[in-house]
Structure 1
């Protein structure tokens, strides 16, 4: 995570990268994508900031993918790693989400119902990319690739990624989906996690699980952390542990973002 000030705005960045075929693509993205983002981020007072930020994110993903593929192709043997990427960029009260693959981001918003009771609403902030989705499959087939058993060439589970050089000619791309949402005082948190979590939790179940932990009684005190910070830390750890307990055989990475006004 990094947090900086740019354009008189507070800008925070969070990301999850889930590698396949090895850890080199996910490690490279984790170490380099935010640097590319910082270099390309619009500076100074400019109009059309929203449009510029979206272009910045698209350029950042393209640059990171190109840089990794260049490094991967220079190795002997050639690296064949790939990685999903789901990045959350918060600019003041605006959230931008850029994602490739099947890691996800979801927002918990608490609203008052007609009877005055509060209820949680789960908002999807990302879009999954797999070759069974019509638009993704059509792009792969137009590029000369095939989809077998729900996978590109019968092997790759995702249709967009960083890396995976051997599949780029088959229609696998590094162009992320972009979504934007304005935060409100009713927003509680964002869950950012790899598919390991969502194989055993629906988005609604994950949100309700976190809410239940946050509403529990006492928490063990730790020096340097507030009670709210301790509750969110506990909720994040318990959510990941529960995914493992439910039998998820995949790795489980979870980031829990507390939203405060």
Structure 2
């Protein structure tokens, strides 16, 4: 007999074991204290985030992009930190060589993140979150490469990644490859306010000095702006055949405190930025949001702006896949 075979479903709901009144009361009091502590934190300027997605296949035979929108990541955390209120996660993955790497990353990266997310608030929370992000990227890459190498024929897919993790009012951006994250912020200029775009990510192109040196030291070459004359990016998830040539899965990490001056964050694959500069994209969306939206609520305006941005990229001649995530910031 298999000692680990599935047990039959219970015929009725299990009854709780009797609990001593004093122990039960203490447990309730502890839970109430935790909830009160979270409410205190939530009242201290924690932004409300909402995500909207626009996606177009372009002229490609296959949609190789993938995305994740989780305004509330806490439901995936096994033990959320008691003094942390509000954990959100948004990500866009741009696949190449196939869609398997991007889909795998969309399914797995946030779960790896949830498993290693700090369980207690501390003075070192910032360092712990950064370590959590680095470990999650490494684990996701290792797991996908292991799966890819076991296939016949071996999968050769890879993907870029741009992830936004917001903990309370602090945004952590982890990216590798050429997808980007851009912040729209209102800044004072004399007596006027103007729209500015702030880059929250860094592109990883093999022509960049640091990237090229690492690739060459690993025995690879950069020809015509590509690794071995083939791969356009110098960091990615997957791409097992290029790992020995210096292509790594370590993301760049940036941190940004969100304030009431911030309007939205734009995450997008390079398909958008082939026909828009970051500043143009931010101003285009901001202009759409400012248009007279009689009869349209705020969510409707953001949704429409996101869809129009993706469509405009195709109209301007982008033949690549285009995926845009627009994250609204409200205080």
Answer whether TM exceeds 0.5 for this pair: yes
Q: 2:223 aligns with which of 144, 148, 167?
A: 148
Question: What corresponds to 2:5 in structure 1?
Answer: none
Contact 1:193 1:254 in 2 (8 A): yes
- 1:81 to 2:151 alignment: no
- For each residue in 1:35-78, what CA deviation from the matched residue of structure 2 results, as whole angstroms up to 9, or x when unmatched? 00000000023330000000000000000000000000000000
| RMSD between aligned residues | 0.9
| Contact 1:19–1:82, Cα closer than 8 Å, also in 2 | yes
Match of 1:224 in 2: none
Contact 1:94–1:180 (CA<8 Å) still a contact in 2? yes
**1:57 and 2:133 matched:** yes
Structure 1: how far apart are the matches of 2:151 and 2:122? 42
Residue in 1 aligned with 2:174? 98
C-alpha distance in 2 between matches for 1:4 and 1:23: 25
Aligned residue among 215, 229, 252 for 1:177:
252
Give the structure with higher Rg (CA): 2
Task: Pick 1 or 2: higher relative contact order, CA cutoff 8 A, min separation 6.
Answer: 2
Output one character per residue of 1:206-238: Cα deviation in whole Å (capped at 9) or x when no partner.
Answer: 0100011001112565xxxxx110111011001
Contact 1:122 1:207 in 2 (8 A): yes
Task: Indicate whether 1:4 and 2:66 are aligned.
Answer: no
SS at match of 2:322: coil
Residue 36 (1) aligns with residue 88 (2) = no
User: Corresponding residue for 2:47?
Assistant: none
Aligned residue for 1:169, secondary structure, equals helix
Which whole-Å CA distance do the structure 2 matches of 1:36 and 1:195 have between them?
Answer: 25
What is the DSSP-based 3-state SS (H/G/I as helix, E as strand, rest coil) of the residue aligned with 2:245?
coil
User: Unaligned regions of 5+ residues in structure 1, if any?
Assistant: 222-226
Aligned residues: 255
Any conservation in 2 of the 1:9–1:92 contact (CA below 8 Å)? yes
Quote the Cα distance in structure 2 between the aligned partners of 1:49 and 1:14: 20
Deviations 1:3-39 (Å, cap 9, x if unpaired)? 1333232100000000000000000000000000000
Runs of 4+, deviation exceeding 2 Å:
218-221
